[in-house]
Amino acid sequence: MQTMPSVQETMREPFSAPLAVPATMQAAVYRGVNDVRVETVPVPAIGVGEVLIQVHSCGICGTDLKKIHSGSHSAPRIFGHETVGTIAALGSGVLGFAVGDRVAVFHHIPCGSCYYCRKKTFAQCPVYKQVGCTAGFEPSGGGFAGYVRVMDWIVKRGLVKIPDGVPFAQAVFVEPLNTCLKGIRSLNLSADETVLVIGQGPIGIMLASLAKRSGATVLTSDLYPERHAVAAQFGLDAPIDASREDVVKVVHAASEGRGADAVILAVGGNPLIRTAMDAARPGGRVLLFAQTQHGEATIDPAAVCVDEKTLLGSYSASLDIQDEALDLVFEGYGQGYDLTRLVSHRFPLSEAVAALAIASDPRATSMKIVVEP
């Protein structure tokens, strides 16, 4: 059985810091429901096998916003998990990394040996559910801060070097791209299929562009033509204007009346589940990708039983596809898969509250919002 490291900040082994690391830093601290404040906090200490990262960028994820707005987590905490930066200090025993390395970090890594890991459902692994990165307080990712402490089991399997020539703005998509690729793999797409992706925010565009790599015909729907314009830069050339068109009718017309072989719901909002189910053909698959809050939704049970439609879910990243996802982000950058085009706003850490506000109220021109300490 794997022993989890302590999350206590006291009684830790001292480390030597070759770079000048300050005693304090700025951080966007969650203090309660809809209450985030930029404060001065101590730089976290690291121990044996751990690494301290000076954060360059951290993307804002919808799960960060859910936690802030719902009060699902106790306060205080420092959120942010799409983290990239530079190694500022190494704990004793760390191999394969050096101070100054540019890195991206996963905040969850599974044990690899439990029942859930053997079944390849890594996000349900008890070790995976433990957050291995913190900027202080209860570990919660910590990317909305100047420095992040990366714990030892994350360093071993979840800390990756960013190749020369790949900008931080591309590397910030390492974790979210992995989650999208995991979802696409669950659909087992083939080249003769039609796929509908509902929602063309950054996640929807990544899902659609990855689906297109299977050779399938990919239709995309969104309320905003500005987002379809961004999607077009990724070769997504079959947009549906959901503000004016009946998405279900368009999809059926484009698929000889059958409906889509696979529908991906890349936006929250439980009423859209029915739209996704109606757009899928008999025997088709519907993937829920953005439904991360518990609640109730109405579906037609006969659509599952009689029409044999399959309802799937996919959540978080997968260690199994980590190398493939890294190649898509790192090597893909030099081959035209430029995810930096999805970044619409960059904010300094001092303006993190404003960044979170824009991310919480998405508009036509807002895509990926990035905080840059």
pLDDT tens per residue across span 40-62: 999 999 999 999 999 999 999 99
- Cα separation values, 46 from 6, 86, 187, Å: 12, 15, 41
Domains of the chain: 24-161+338-372 (3.90.180.10), 177-313 (3.40.50.720)
Q: How many helices (H) and strands (E) does the chain have?
A: 12, 16
DSSP 60: -
Residues of the chain with pLDDT > 90, as a percent, come to 92
* pLDDT at 6 > cutoff 60: no
**Cβ–Cβ under 8 Å, residues 101 and 161:** yes
**pLDDT, mean over the chain:** 94
- Mean pLDDT calculated for residue range 211-216: 97
Q: Which pLDDT belongs to residue 19?
A: 67
Q: Is the pLDDT of residue 7 over 70?
A: no
pLDDT score, position 269: 85
Q: Which of 12, 11, 15 is nearest to 89 (CA)?
A: 15
Output phi, psi for 249, to 5 deg: -65, -40
Residue 250 burial (CB count, 10 A): 19
User: Given phi > 0 = left and psi -120 to 50 = alpha, else beta, which region is 370?
Assistant: beta
Token couple for 58: 């951290």
Label residue 12 by pLDDT band (50, 70, 90).
very low
Each residue's pLDDT tens digit, 128-160: 999 999 999 999 999 999 999 999 999 999 999
**Tens digits of residue pLDDT in 72-120:** 999 999 999 999 999 999 999 999 999 999 999 999 999 999 999 999 9
If one counts every other C-beta atom within 10 angstroms of the C-beta of residue 340, the result is 16
**Residue 296 vs residues 35, 235, 315: alpha-carbon distances, Å:** 27, 36, 18
